[in-house]
């Protein structure tokens, strides 16, 4: 059975690689901004943002609900996470994310629930007759609610899927949509140090907008009767994307006993190593913007302190007025993991990340995770 799983995974990865190579740099810059639910492209999590969300193959636990849902399968018991992001600092945009992953048992897999709320702040209401405002403000809000499931089919093969409810609304316009994510992570090597990840995200039906905000009052030609006219919203596709990631853990210094739950649990791996350096890379093929490459590096000391950095690249990024993404260039972050007892794997993690943005003053994320 294990050989069957491995064969199926190899076929899936090969198919994804062929697909991605066929459409390499196929991201359509001319369609930038034309998709609905653009907030689906923004990572709300602290640790992941610290290296540019490059961890398609290596992100585990609650943060995998965004990067690659397959990583949820590595949750031992329970993981709870919360992150607040000051998005494009100075723009009054704020993102809050809350998630929980719960193990259902070794053979039953893991279940996850996550919510992301993005507030764009207060915007002055203007009209043709009142271009300077004076009519109050409105506060757009974007939300994603996700239900996820992941399972380990062997020590090497892990897969998962998510169903997402998407909402965009202002005071008088609303749009509702649904999308799905799916992902695979493959782990191999003597110490499980080589990881491959594939994630397909934001696959769903088009969204359209409804509400009184699309109506206007005026006079029909040849009529003196004031009437209300309704406009129909165009439908907008979801910002689908395909991500491929690779990572390798360089393990040094043998096993750190502080990372082990008991004397019999001393296998060397990314959690128990005294020193770990992870080199990661990812390719993101976007349907509604330019494709991107991301590279990242993370150092972990005894699974108690971590520092990471990343760099996001897209074609033409050095030319002015040609960028299709806010996040380009460097990112950095750190995590402090506090053990919840002696020789236990349970941790409380405090995460911070900074990401450079093309406009404004960058994004700052700070969050906490409880890992049981």
Task: Grade residue 20 by pLDDT with cuts at 50, 70 and 90.
Answer: very low
Mean pLDDT score, 34-41: 88
Task: Grade residue 9 by pLDDT with cuts at 50, 70 and 90.
Answer: low
The per-residue pLDDT for 255 is 83
DSSP state of 196: E
**Do the beta carbons of residue 58 and residue 197 sit within 8 Å?**
yes
Q: Residue 125 has which token pair?
A: 């209401």
Task: Grade residue 265 by pLDDT with cuts at 50, 70 and 90.
Answer: low
- Distance (Å, whole) CA 110 – CA 148: 8
The per-residue pLDDT for 138 is 83
Give the model confidence (pLDDT) of 344-367 as tens digits.
Answer: 889 999 999 999 998 889 999 999
**Lowest mean per-residue pLDDT among 141-155, 186-200, 203-217, 331-345:** 203-217
The per-residue pLDDT for 22 is 47
- Distance (Å, whole) CA 300 – CA 275: 6
The per-residue pLDDT for 25 is 44
Mean pLDDT score, 212-228: 72
Q: Is the pLDDT of residue 74 over 70?
A: yes
Write phi, then psi, for 242 (nearest 5 degrees): -125, 125
Q: Is the pLDDT of residue 295 over 80?
A: yes
Q: Please tell me which residue, 103 or 321, carries the higher pLDDT value.
A: 103
Q: Is the pLDDT of residue 254 over 50?
A: yes
Q: Is the pLDDT of residue 64 over 70?
A: yes
- CATH 2.40.160.40 assigned to domain 2-371? The reply is yes
pTM of the model: 0.86
CB-CB neighbours of 69 under 10 Å: 30
Q: Residue 147 has which token pair?
A: 């239900």
The per-residue pLDDT for 279 is 97
**Lowest mean per-residue pLDDT among 33-47, 74-88, 119-133, 282-296:** 119-133
Residue 125 CB contacts under 8 Å (≥ 6 apart), including other chains: 133, 135, 136, 137, 138
- Distance (Å, whole) CA 111 – CA 78: 10
Q: Please tell me which residue, 220 or 47, carries the higher pLDDT value.
A: 47
The per-residue pLDDT for 343 is 74
Q: Residue 162 has which token pair?
A: 């998510």
CB-CB neighbours of 127 under 10 Å: 9
Among residues 318, 235, 328, the alpha carbon closest in space to that of 289 is found at: 328
The per-residue pLDDT for 330 is 96
Residue 122 CB contacts under 8 Å (≥ 6 apart), including other chains: 92, 137, 138, 139
Q: Is the pLDDT of residue 19 over 70?
A: no
The per-residue pLDDT for 11 is 53
Helical H segments across the chain, by residue range: 2-22, 46-49, 64-67
The per-residue pLDDT for 126 is 82
Task: Grade residue 41 by pLDDT with cuts at 50, 70 and 90.
Answer: very high
Mean pLDDT score, 187-193: 91
Domain residue spans in the chain?
2-371
- Distance (Å, whole) CA 213 – CA 311: 40
Burial 151-181 (b: 16+ CB within 10 A, else e): bbbeebbbbbbbebebbbbbeebebebebbb
Mean pLDDT score, 85-113: 95
The per-residue pLDDT for 17 is 52
Task: Grade residue 28 by pLDDT with cuts at 50, 70 and 90.
Answer: low
Mean pLDDT score, 166-192: 92
């Amino acid at each position: 059975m294990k050989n069957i799983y491995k064969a199926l995974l190899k076929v899936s990865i090969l198919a994804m690689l062929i697909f991605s190579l066929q459409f390499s740099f196929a991201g359509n810059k001319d369609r930038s901004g034309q998709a609905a639910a653009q907030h689906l492209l923004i990572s709300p999590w602290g640790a992941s943002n610290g290296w540019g969300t490059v961890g398609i193959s290596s992100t585990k636990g609650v943060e995998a609900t965004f990067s690659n849902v397959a990583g949820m399968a590595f949750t031992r018991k329970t993981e709870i996470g919360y992150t607040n992001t000051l998005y494009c600092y100075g723009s009054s945009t704020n993102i809050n994310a809350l998630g929980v992953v719960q193990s259902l048992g070794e053979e039953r897999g893991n279940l996850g629930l996550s919510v992301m709320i993005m507030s764009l702040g207060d915007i002055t209401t203007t009209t043709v007759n009142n271009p300077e405002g004076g009519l109050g403000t409105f506060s757009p809000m974007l939300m994603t609610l996700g239900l996820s499931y992941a399972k380990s089919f062997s020590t090497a093969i892990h897969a998962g899927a998510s169903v997402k409810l998407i909402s965009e609304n202002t005071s008088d316009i609303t749009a509702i949509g649904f999308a799905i994510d799916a992902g695979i992570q493959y782990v191999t090597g003597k110490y499980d140090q080589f990881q491959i990840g594939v994630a397909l995200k934001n696959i769903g039906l088009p969204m359209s907008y409804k509400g009184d905000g699309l109506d206007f009052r005026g006079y029909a030609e040849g009529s003196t009767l004031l009437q209300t006219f309704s406009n129909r919203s165009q439908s907008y596709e979801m910002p689908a994307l395909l991500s491929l990631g690779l990572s390798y853990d360089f393990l040094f210094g043998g096993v750190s006993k502080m990372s082990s739950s008991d004397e019999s649990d001393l296998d060397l791996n990314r959690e128990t190593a005294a020193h770990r350096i992870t080199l990661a890379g990812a390719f993101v093929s976007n349907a509604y913007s330019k494709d991107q490459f991301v590279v990242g590096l993370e150092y972990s000391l005894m699974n108690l302190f971590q520092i990471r950095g990343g760099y996001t690249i897209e074609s033409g990024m050095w030319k002015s007025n040609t960028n299709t993404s806010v996040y380009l260039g460097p990112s950095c972050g750190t995590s402090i993991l506090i053990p919840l007892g002696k020789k236990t794997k349970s941790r409380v993690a405090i995460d911070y990340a900074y990401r450079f943005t093309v406009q404004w003053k960058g994004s700052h994320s700070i969050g906490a995770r409880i890992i049981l």
